[in-house]
Chains A and B, each alone.
Chain A
């Protein structure tokens, strides 16, 4: 799996490598700035959607307007909703070959290494979203023959409407929060993944999200259904150019993992530092199913994201591994939510955050055990490392237990990179930068060793790049 991730992580240096932009991208459609019923109707009409979806959008828009902006988490007060373009279409139609898509857009993905990774067979399927629309999609033939569906969600609404209707918005309704309402009103693109009963997808499906324009709002909508005994690993990456004004990324991801199914969802979020990243992600795991979120947050101006797992069937397991790195001007408000709704379910949250150069990272987590969910066990570990005195870390762990027969563990620690540790390593010939990187790598090691080998290597590389030039 290395090339594509490799290229993505290289963008994380202080000089953000993916800050390039295609200035001459020809937009075939661009909504005016600001949000209105007309904009929503326009989006729906552009997509030739069925009436039920258009009505769903309009209802969600009312909900968005009626909900106050959250006052917790990060500072959302500076977001001006009138300043964004809510829909932008850069290509007239989706490509089935990279040659089908406009050269300047293909150029972007070439720089990101996506076609290369696909050619080398490192991924089983690719979805590439540019602004509001998915411009390229592919899936390995043998998987398609087994009934695996991997398309953009707009296509799914048209071609698999029964499946979409059955699941869409059932786990994260528009009313859930202000940003799920916003997404429900103006959503576009995202992935629809359906893995039929017993089908095991051996290598990951990859989605790649790119914002190119200034003042852009990207609102992809992803729906993943893993049938009984099926397995999938879905990986997403995100980048954007650097502008002086903010852009908004607000996704909704819903995942259903049926009995004995397994799903792992890995995010390498590397947005430029002018992006508000306000994402709602939730999964439900039925009997003996396993849901894992691996959530790496390195970019963005503000991220608020707490992937959730509802353990709804007996024996279900949920895991959330979260790594956040907050640099200059960044606030990572990340964590996870686990809800034990059935007996004999187990869960684990491991969160590691690093703050440097005045960055701020917060762990925010909820662990809930419903009445009757007997013999559940859960372990929450969150550790924070602060690299200098300008940086900050906070922990907000919420625990609600309505059942007596449970085993719950919770540990939290905050440490500053120690002068004595630095001196010790430097006295053995390591430079200050090498010593700091080594201490940080050691800090996230307990989490990284949970990752498959290739991801562990990438994550270490990523942290090294983040650390470069950060000392001194």
Chain B
């Protein structure tokens, strides 16, 4: 099967009528690793939610396509079936639903996109075997599968559970929304290794959204982008990461004064713009 391409073209996104993204362009091929960096409120999480199809994020202009199919017109579950995956920064808990039960439904649907509701799930035995293997790789205890989804999980457990889901769903494209936030350095390493392993197996195109260099030492990007004032203003290689780490965003502000102004406004509104789950 030939590689899929995720193409984001002039994407404008608004929340509650307020435009956050003002024309994002980005192309990711399967197997590539891209990093997206930017200050707080620059619209990084907005991009991830909009790509996954959160109902509160309105695409007002532009497209995001996977092999020519416009994601913008699809529900979140249909995007998942096309191979798009989002590792949430703040995964929601679902009381009473075990991780295993949830994942069996998810995996069945994503692997058999034409399955009708009520049709058979993946055979329990095969599913369990595969789940156990994935959990072993991530150093997760088997008991974990019987816990209620994200209910009472520690920060590290939540992120590990996200990577476990990615591992089982084998997406063509994975967006990691600040997967490193709130993790200590060992946890960052374990989670990153997990991502690398899955990405290699499924030939996943990865978009790592982060503030810090740390995670990029483990998940090494070929392409680095800086989102600033609702647009990608710089794209390059890892030298951009080094430059940001050393100099911060001042040079960006100086170089893009118009965007800097927008950025200041966005930052002031940032807390109001985040979805409820992210607060």
Tell me, yes or no, whether A binds B: yes
Contact A419 B165 (CB under 8 A): no
Q: How far is A428 from B78 in the complex, measured between Cα atoms in Å?
A: 9
Q: Which residue of A lies closest to B110 (CB)?
A: A429
B105 near A419 with CB under 8 A, answer no
Whether the Cβ atoms of A428 and B165 lie closer than 8 Å is yes
Interface residue stretch chosen among B29-37, B64-72, B87-95, B133-141: B87-95
A contact residues around B76 at 8 Å (CB) = 423, 426-427
Q: A133 → chain B, closest Cβ, in Å?
A: 39
**Proximity string of chain A (406-447) to chain B, C-beta cutoff 8 Å, 1 when within and 0 when not:** 000000000000111101111111111111001101111110
By the criterion of a CB under 8 Å from any partner CB, how many residues of chain B are at the interface? 35
Nearest-Cβ distance from residue A178 to partner chain B, whole angstroms: 38
Complex: A237 Cα to B242 Cα, angstroms: 70
A434 to B76, CA, bound (A): 13
- Contact of B75 with A424 in the complex, beta carbons under 8 Å: no
B190 sits at the interface (CB 8 A): no
Write out the residue numbers on chain B whose beta carbons fall within 8 Å of the beta carbon of A443: 95-96
Q: Is the interface of A mostly helix, strand, loop or mixed?
A: helix
A429 touches B106 (CB 8 A): yes
B56 within 8 A of A: yes
How many interface contacts (CB-CB < 8 Å) are there between A and B? 92
Q: Which of B117, B148, B165 gathers most chain A CB within 10 Å?
A: B117
Using known A-B contacts A430-B105, A438-B105, determine if residue A420 contacts B276 with beta carbons closer than 8 Å: yes
Question: B51-67 vs A: 1/0 string, CB under 8 Å?
Answer: 01111100000000000
Q: Which residue of B lies closest to A428 (CB)?
A: B106
Contact call B91/A424, Cβ cutoff below 8 A: yes
Q: Are A429 and B95 in contact (CB under 8 A)?
A: no
CB closest chain-A residue, reference B81: A429
Contact A420:B92 (CB < 8 A) given known A428-B165, A431-B77, A431-B117? yes
The reply to whether B80 and A434 contact each other, CB–CB distance below 8 Å, is: no
Contact B276 A427 (CB under 8 A): no
Q: A419-B55, A442-B94, A442-B96 are in contact. Are A426 and B105 (CB under 8 A)?
A: no
Let me know if B1 is at the binding interface, CB within 8 A: no
Complex alpha-carbon distance, A464 and B96, angstroms:
15
Establish whether residues B95 and A420, one from each chain, have CB atoms under 8 Å apart when the complex forms: no
Interface residues of B (CB under 8 A from A): 52-56, 75-77, 79-81, 85-86, 88, 91-92, 94-97, 101-103, 105-107, 109-110, 117, 148, 165, 169, 275-277
5 residue pairs A–B, Cβ–Cβ below 8 Å? A427-B80, A427-B85, A430-B77, A431-B109, A438-B97
